[in-house]
Amino acid sequence: MNNLYNEAFLYSWKDFLTEASEETSAGVLLYKNVDDQTYVYLVHAGGWWNQGSPHAWGIPKGHLEKGESLKGAAAREFREEVGLEVPGELAFDLGTIKTASGKKVQAYAAEGDLPEGHIPKSNIATKVIKGKEYTFPEVDDGQWFNLEDAYNTINRRQQLFLDNLKSKLDPLTEAAQNRKAIFMAGGPGSGKGTLLKRVGAYDSNFKVVNVDDIFEPLLKAKAAELKLPEEELMNLDHPERDIRSQQGKLFVQAQRETKEKLRELIGLNADIIIDGTGGAFNQIKKSKGMLEDLGYDVAMMFVDVDLPTTLDRNEKRLKLGGRKVKPERVEKSWASVHKHKGSYDQLFGDNFFLYDGSDDRPETEDDRVKALFQDFIK
């Protein structure tokens, strides 16, 4: 399959580690354990426009002030919105999300309890709607929820915080401590899917995450719906604007569904293979760090194929019914991947597995990389 779009999915999934900026907020997810069940404390956003909204609950959070650290801002916002100091240490990072407006929210988990019957005493805020100024409490309620109820109540974008909390609090069995994640890297047509078959990945416990697995069926289904030949929707350089618009909408849908799949697999402590091209080095570096924070041992399998072979394979794939991609785009993707090969070697160290994917590779190459893969997953 062609993974030209994969980084767009995977690494919008995470600006996992982000530097503080004026566009960044920070907050605290307070939790406690009662009778072997985890509860989290959520607050309800004030203002009449939030009344009756099923997802107006969230963590206490707010913008950083000048010169303030993320943890400092998280603790201050908890105090301002709840009316009490955080009753525990900000023990671990729950990751970063983006709000609908594009702002980033960093969350930290803290274990502790609040006085029984405590009512939040938050700051007063103002908001102008259609020229009229309204004054309202930033928070008008606060309650404890078990994780299931919280998931159905919290702002949808903040559900990731609950997933990460659950992952952190799950009993760290030997299997959970040794979860594995592998990034695939290599230009389009390099043979990453074929390599996964050769090393036995599809016969292992690994779950492969690839946005193309969702995107391509969506393209074919849309072609059938519009009564168009499949190749019309499979041509990513189609001259008609309406067709390209349909492709863009379907890719956004594929991104969303693939993110949900990845989040679900992480929540299940699954071993995962993230099949992309590897063209976005900084994003892969951040994602690697996030996965390691969640307890994953992370590796990369880099499929090394020269440009002429890559172009030839993509031409052959087109004849077999694959997506049509201009050679210029294939060449650009190939270059963006291979310029990072040395950096990936340094980043992953002993967990960087370089595979000669050329047609004239040594007969021993497949067995060599298969042995590295099998040793890594033990």
Which CATH number does the domain housing residue 47 bear?
3.90.79.10
The pLDDT assigned to 23 comes to 75
Digit-coded pLDDT (tens) for 68-97: 899 999 999 999 889 899 998 998 888 888
In a domain, 207, yes or no: yes
79 plus 216 within the same structural domain:
no
Q: With b meaning 16 or more CB within 10 Å and e meaning fewer, what string describes 129-157?
A: eeeeeeebbbbbebebbebeebbebbbee
Return the minimum-mean-pLDDT range out of 41-50, 164-173, 268-277.
164-173
In a domain, 1, yes or no: no
The residues facing 133 across adjacent strands are: 128
Q: Which distant-in-sequence residues (6+ apart) come within 8 Å of 134 by Cβ? A: 47, 48, 126, 127, 128
152 plus 204 within the same structural domain:
no
The pLDDT assigned to 318 comes to 63
326 plus 339 within the same structural domain:
yes
**Which residues span the domain enclosing 154?**
24-169
The confidence band for 344, taking pLDDT boundaries of 50, 70 and 90, is very high
32 has pLDDT over 80: yes
* Tally of domains within the chain: 2
202 plus 113 within the same structural domain:
no
Top pLDDT among 45 and 162 is at: 162
179 plus 298 within the same structural domain:
yes
- Which CA distances in Å does 293 have to 95, 118, 185? 9, 33, 22
Asked if 60 and 168 count as a contact pair (C-beta separation under 8 A), the reply is no
The confidence band for 261, taking pLDDT boundaries of 50, 70 and 90, is confident
How many Å from the N-terminal Cα to the C-terminal Cα in the chain? Answer: 28
Domain edge (last residue) among 136, 169, 202: 169
In a domain, 18, yes or no: no
172 has pLDDT over 60: no
Domain edge (last residue) among 119, 139, 169: 169
Place of tokens 């994917």: 357
In a domain, 357, yes or no: yes
The pLDDT assigned to 77 comes to 92
106 plus 68 within the same structural domain:
yes
The residues facing 27 across adjacent strands are: 61, 107
In a domain, 19, yes or no: no
Neighbour tally for 89: CB within 10 Å: 12
In a domain, 120, yes or no: yes
Domain edge (last residue) among 143, 169, 195: 169
Q: What type of residue sits at position 106?
A: Q
Which 8-state DSSP code applies to residue 154? Answer: B
Determine the average pLDDT of the residues in 63-67: 87
In a domain, 265, yes or no: yes
d(CA 186, CA 242): 31
177 plus 158 within the same structural domain:
no
Nearest by Cα to 155 from 52, 49, 58: 58
187: domain CATH number?
Answer: 3.40.50.300
d(CA 161, CA 339): 34
56 plus 117 within the same structural domain:
yes
268 plus 331 within the same structural domain:
yes
113 plus 262 within the same structural domain:
no
Which 8-state DSSP code applies to residue 235? Answer: B
108 has pLDDT over 90: yes
Asked if 220 and 233 count as a contact pair (C-beta separation under 8 A), the reply is yes
Digit-coded pLDDT (tens) for 120-148: 877 777 777 777 777 777 788 889 999 99
The confidence band for 14, taking pLDDT boundaries of 50, 70 and 90, is very low
The pLDDT assigned to 53 comes to 67
137 plus 189 within the same structural domain:
no
147 plus 271 within the same structural domain:
no
Structure tokens, 82: 């709840």
Percentage of the chain modeled with pLDDT above 70: 87
d(CA 276, CA 84): 45
Structure tokens, 52: 């009756």
375 has pLDDT over 90: no
Top pLDDT among 231 and 177 is at: 231
In a domain, 304, yes or no: yes
d(CA 216, CA 251): 9
- Which CA distances in Å does 44 have to 51, 140, 261, 292? 9, 6, 28, 32
Top pLDDT among 138 and 363 is at: 363
Place of tokens 């059938």: 224
3-state secondary structure of 39: strand
The confidence band for 351, taking pLDDT boundaries of 50, 70 and 90, is very high
